[in-house]
Structure 1
């Protein structure tokens, strides 16, 4: 197989390679007592969630050259005993893993290690028998949020971020992604300087004690020059400053094209946990927005700190909102309203990820079908609103025929997990 060449300079370029994760047994074993700890608002019906995700993947495959699953990539990255053992030692340092669990993992084949790290290791497997106090607990807890591949890492230009998660429930995911980027046969060609942000490695080496969180849902590559990053419930201002400085150094060496980073100052609320829950791109000159945070007549406008990356040190200025800041960067985007003009529908549909669209190509997006008012707004903006099942049943529909498409996914289960189509994807390469 050919090396994977990282290339993401927009949110809208035709999708070439993308990583997802099909929800597996890790969602089937979740009980109500786990929900708050594992960041879910409900438990999922796993079989239906998998069917919905399979349809989502088939829609991606109508445009993308490759749709890859992170579990497969992780197994392939651990193609030597040394890599597997090194991962287990790093995992042990990260989560203070018990000796018994570490020994179990050491004795497993790579595919079994990957499965155990995703679905968890129950206490009874560690103890060798069932203990009445531990019968529903895990020495290694499941990570059902791996479904949301957007967050633990991000490709930015020709480089990538190994993010650091704000919550312990997801602390394992960036470690998995770090090993994939460093050890997968198709990614081993990447250089250390290609890693733009990484708090995990210095933490494991004992060089820092208080890592700053940065998550991929807050990272939007808007052009070859402009990056937008949310300062949110999940991403800290210090992490954004560190990323800005890394990009400035990249630009100073002549290795990077980004000259502007826009930090969007967001409320620290669960309904808007990431920037992509309130703002996503849909075409080269359009975006999908949650209106209360972006329209000029709103009292909830989100201010922006603009970082100029072209100098010997970071230069900052402020803008009243993101759309105006983008106009100053030469990007005059026409906003499409999540939920339409009705404030109640705006709130309801933003909560169910109505603003979280994912671009397969310019003007070709995927979003949850339950957000009907948003779909009507897209239709008024000239999008051909198409059900995913109708698209897959008709091979004559060409999503790259030059028209604009909004493909609606059935999502009665996936939407319960609090993430939309963009959340479920990590693009590696776009045109």
Structure 2
């Protein structure tokens, strides 16, 4: 069995997550932090625990290794969206430098756990560079797409290139639009979720033309998310294996589009853990090893 960290869609073998009890911690912490972090409203702690347990059960059902980030007083509730603080590569993890000020301590938490788990660290993005994992997606084993956004700046992209291009990795930059501005959570993976080597869920109205055309040139077909399912995270789809997907419930058109392309789709209720904080299943996970 061959394995790689350079995939968004191969059979997932191991993953890090940050459960509600460790990230949200308590109703008091949620009350103190949700507004400053631009959540739509305060998540309900007890409901969030139930939602998260159901979400984690979907991962465990696939018999993959699930690792937990521990509780850490230095990070805020956004730490539940653990994809953003690091990037997985075959050469080691890359620690990000968060573009959202309230999340600046999350890469330190990731570093501690990777070292504890004997997972090597390739490097880190340093000030004045910023880069968040939600802006980064593997298109194939030697091609990494990165969004230039309000969370990921040009200096961060240059540092990412310096770490990976000498190792034979091609970096494709997608110039993301202003959309709702600096305060909004808008990453490359807000508009792109690869679910197979030649299939991606996309929201074309916000996709850069050059980048969209490059995906087509590479042979990708698209499941197009309708406008009324964009805010409900129709475009945020986690592949556990090729065309085996998890998504937030309440996006029937996108789900039907995936199923029409031969995908098996499982949904979870994400009102508290996803919709209010702007983070779907890809955001809730830091995938590591995948196999083929």
TM-score, with normalisation over the residues of structure 1?
Answer: 0.62
- What CA deviation, in whole Å up to 9, does each residue of 1:79-117 have, x standing for no partner? xxxxxxxxxxxxxxxxxxxxxxxxxxxxxxxxxxx4533
Q: Deviations over 1:130-152 (max 9, x none)?
A: xxxxxxxxxxxxx1111101001
Match of 2:125 in 1: 198
1:367 corresponds to? 247
Count of equivalent residues: 283
Query: Structure 2: where are the runs of 5+ without partners?
Result: none
Change (3 A) 1:360 1:40: same
**CA deviation vs aligned residue, 1:229-283 (integer Å, no higher than 9, x gap):** 01112111221122112212233xxxxxx2x211100023455611111111122
1:48 deviates by: 1.1
In 2, are the aligned partners of 1:153 and 1:177 still within 8 Å (CA)? yes
Does residue 267 (structure 1) correspond to residue 200 (structure 2)? The answer is no
Taking structure 2 as the reference length, the TM-score comes to 0.90
| Alpha-carbon distance in 1 for matches of 2:9, 2:106 | 26
State the secondary structure of the residue aligned to 2:250.
coil
Match of 2:271 in 1: 412
**Secondary structure class of the residue paired with 1:335:** strand
Equivalence for 2:118:
187
Does structure 1 conserve the Cα–Cα contact (< 8 Å) formed by 2:84 and 2:133?
Answer: yes
Counterpart pick for 1:238 among 151, 155, 173:
155
1:352-411 Cα offsets, whole Å, 9 max, x none, are 2110100100000100011222122223333xxxxxxxxxxxxxxxxxxxxx31111112
Q: Are 1:355 and 2:215 an aligned pair?
A: no
CA RMSD, Structure 1 to Structure 2 (Å): 2.0
Q: For residues 287 and 177 of structure 1, what CA distance do their matches in structure 2 show?
A: 28
Cα deviation for residue 224 of structure 1 reads 1.3
Indicate the SS of the match to 1:57. Answer: helix
CA distance in 2, matches of 1:356, 1:160: 23
Query: SS at the partner of 1:413?
Result: helix
SS of 2:230 mapped into structure 1: helix
Aligned partners of 1:144 and 1:70: how far apart in 2? 13
**Match of 1:100?**
none
What is the alpha-carbon distance in structure 2 between the residues aligned to residue 116 and residue 234 of structure 1? 23
Is the alpha carbon distance of 1:272 and 1:21 closer, same or farther for their aligned partners in structure 2, counting shifts above 3 Å? closer
Q: What is the aligned counterpart of 2:204 among 268, 277, 291?
A: 291
User: For 1:223 and 1:278, how far apart are their aligned partners in 2?
Assistant: 18
Higher radius of gyration, 1 or 2 = 1
> Contact 2:185–2:278 at 8 Å: present in 1 too?
no
Residue in 2 that maps onto 1:8: 5
Alpha-carbon distance, 1:32 to partner? 5.8
Aligned-pair CA distance for 1:33: 6.5
What's 1:155 paired with? 88
Query: In the TM superposition, what are the counterparts of 1:374-393 in structure 2 within 5 Å?
Result: 374-382=254-262
* SS of equivalent to 1:261: strand
Residue 128 of structure 2: aligned partner = 211
CA–CA distance in structure 2, aligned partners of residues 14 and 262 of structure 1: 24
Deviations, residues 180-228 of structure 1 (Å, cap 9, x unaligned): 223x0x316x2xxx514332xxxxxxxxxx4211000001012111100
Q: Aligned pair in 2 of structure 1 residues 246, 55: CA closer, same or farther (>3 Å)? A: same
Could you list the per-position Cα deviations for residues 156-186 of structure 1 after superposition, in whole angstroms to 9, with x for gaps in the alignment?
A: 233221000112211111111122223x0x3
For structure 1, the residue ranges without an aligned partner over 5 or more in a row are 1-5, 72-113, 119-142, 200-209, 252-257, 295-301, 303-319, 340-345, 383-403
Q: 1:31 to 1:47 in 2, by over 3 A?
A: closer
Distance apart, 1:9 and its partner CA: 1.6
Alpha carbons of structure 1 residues 381 and 7: separation in structure 2 relative to 1, 3 Å: closer
In the alignment, is the contact (CA less than 8 A) between 1:156 and 1:221 conserved in 2? no
Equivalence for 2:210: 321
Distance in 2 between residues matched to 1:226 and 1:211, nearest whole Å = 25
- Give the alignment partner of residue 424 of structure 1, picking from 278, 284, 287: 284
| Residues 91, 122 of structure 2: 8 Å contact kept | no
